[in-house]
Amino acid sequence: MSEQIKNRIEDANRQAVERVLRSRPILVDIKPAIEVLSGMKKNSIFHAGPPIEWKRMSGPLRGAIVATMIFEQLVESWDEAVKLIESGQIEFSPNHDHDAVGPMAGVISPSMPVLVVKNEKFGNTCFGRLVEQKVQFGVFDEDAVQILKFWAKTLGPALGKAIRVSKGIDLKSLMARALHMGDELHNRPVAGTALFASIITPYLIEVLDREELVKVTKFFSTNDIFFLCMSMAACKTIMNAARDIEYSTLVIAMARNGTDFGIKVSGLGNEWFIGPAQMIEGRYFPGYKHGDANPDIGDSAITETAGIGAFALANSPAILSLIGGSAEDAIKYTKQMREITMTLNDTFSIPILDFQGTATGIDIRKVVKTGILPVIDTAMAHKQAGIGMIGAGVVRPPLEAFKQALYAFGRKYRL
């Protein structure tokens, strides 16, 4: 490779990572997906990870799709849903291809409320599906569907109203604070949820009647995990600001659909580079064991892509009670990620490492050269539709995806 090309790549990466660091994601609204997501039609179902057709989909993704179709009143049962899907009347597409992200199965349908996050610095807007404990893990029973109805009818409109009155919530500064409060903002967004609740409550009081107010504020105090959706949407907004920079080897998305793991790279346009989704090493809830888990699933690895999640695991030793491992491991993971990234974050930092920034901006060249794979902490879904979350742990992506991206990079830029 010529010195000139090398310099060109370095320049591109400097520019890309500068846009990552300067991004300022602001939560500006919550709206039904069909009103804001590009390319969403009445028969669209968007999902986590790279593109996949129904017959290759894993159990939890299928379960989430069926639950969502019931929520949309397209069907009333699993069998009806399968029939409609197999007749070709549902159009599937990855969230990431529409500037959106969703946790676990990550299924987004037209009526579903989504977070609208605007990058105050660069003007790009991204979207995030809310977080719950059922549908996104593949559960499709009446209780699960009920949660989506609560969102669409109560939570989404209520929060949307309050957010609009607030004139926007600065997610990045909130996230920086939460990272100093034991969160890594992927599997542990507890402080983020509490801080968000504390910020939004006065606005909720302003815009809601008492009955709605009680419902919505009680929701926060019993849904510690809620802020994950904001963290994800903020990270997507941050990383999308670094898209399409020619010659950049920056990873701008890592996502899993439960079957495949895919990445996107700044200098390689909209193309996905794929490998098989991996099995998670971690802890199971009582009654479940290794063979029960589905492979890695969800768009939530956008947090690691943006330099938090497991890249900030040293901030969240408390999470180890959930995923297994020692505090020393957490620090080791956090430090190891410096080997494959472009910079240390200047907003997201690690007090226990004397406030050094988190490793930020994965470089496909460094991953392939070192063989060190990004670390991701994640929940585990049961491999069968209808069962749900069965544990949590740590996973690494397949090297293959990074190698393919590097080959494609070589081809595109004739290296």
- For residue 168, the minimal CB distance to its own copies (Å) is 16
Asked whether position 183 contacts its own copies by CB under 8 A, the answer is yes
Q: Are strands 44-47 and 91-94 parallel, antiparallel or unpaired?
A: parallel
Asked whether position 194 contacts its own copies by CB under 8 A, the answer is yes
Contact segment (CB under 8 A) with its own copies among 4-12, 48-56, 214-222, 246-254 equals 214-222
Contact segment (CB under 8 A) with its own copies among 8-16, 278-286, 346-354, 360-368 equals 346-354
Asked whether position 415 contacts its own copies by CB under 8 A, the answer is no
Q: Kindly write down the DSSP assignment for every residue of 242-277, as one continuous string.
A: TTT-TT--BEEEEEEESSEEEEEEGGGTT--EEEEP
Asked whether position 321 contacts its own copies by CB under 8 A, the answer is yes
Contact segment (CB under 8 A) with its own copies among 42-50, 60-68, 120-128, 212-220 equals 212-220
Task: Pull the structure tokens for residue 179.
Answer: 């990272």
Total residues contacting its own copies (rule CB under 8 A)? 35
Separation of alpha carbons 153 and 220, rounded Å: 17
Q: Per-residue contact track with its own copies, 349 to 388, x per CB under 8 A?
A: --xxxxx---------------------------------
Q: Among 347, 311, 357, which residue's Cα sits nearest to residue 331?
A: 311
Separation of alpha carbons 237 and 340, rounded Å: 22
Closer Cβ to its own copies, 72 or 377, answer by number? 377
Residue of 82, 327, 372, 408 that binds its own copies (CB under 8 A): 327
Asked whether position 308 contacts its own copies by CB under 8 A, the answer is no
- For residue 19, the minimal CB distance to its own copies (Å) is 27
Sites for its own copies among residues 102-131 (CB under 8 A): none
- Rounded to the nearest angstrom, the gap between the alpha carbon of residue 299 and the centroid of all alpha carbons in its chain is 4
CA distances from 164 to 32, 168, 200, 297 (A): 15, 6, 11, 32
| Rounded (5°) CA angle 14-17-18 | 80
- For residue 222, the minimal CB distance to its own copies (Å) is 9
CA distances from 15 to 8, 22, 26, 343 (A): 11, 10, 22, 12
Number of neighbours of residue 349 by Cβ within 10 angstroms: 18
Separation of alpha carbons 19 and 377, rounded Å: 25
Tell me phi and psi for residue 74, to 5 degrees: -80, -30
Asked whether position 165 contacts its own copies by CB under 8 A, the answer is no
- For residue 196, the minimal CB distance to its own copies (Å) is 9
- For residue 305, the minimal CB distance to its own copies (Å) is 24
Residues ≥6 apart with Cβ < 8 Å to 321 = none
Contact segment (CB under 8 A) with its own copies among 36-44, 96-104, 194-202, 279-287 equals 194-202
Closer Cβ to its own copies, 338 or 383, answer by number? 338
Asked whether position 167 contacts its own copies by CB under 8 A, the answer is no
Closer Cβ to its own copies, 287 or 355, answer by number? 355
Closer Cβ to its own copies, 199 or 408, answer by number? 199
Task: In the chain, count H helices and then E strands.
Answer: 15, 16
| Residue 216 DSSP code | H
Closer Cβ to its own copies, 206 or 400, answer by number? 206
Separation of alpha carbons 326 and 342, rounded Å: 27
Asked whether position 318 contacts its own copies by CB under 8 A, the answer is yes
Which residues are near its own copies by CB under 8 A?
177, 180-183, 190-191, 194-195, 197-199, 201-202, 205-206, 210, 213-214, 217-218, 220-221, 316-318, 320-321, 326-327, 351-355
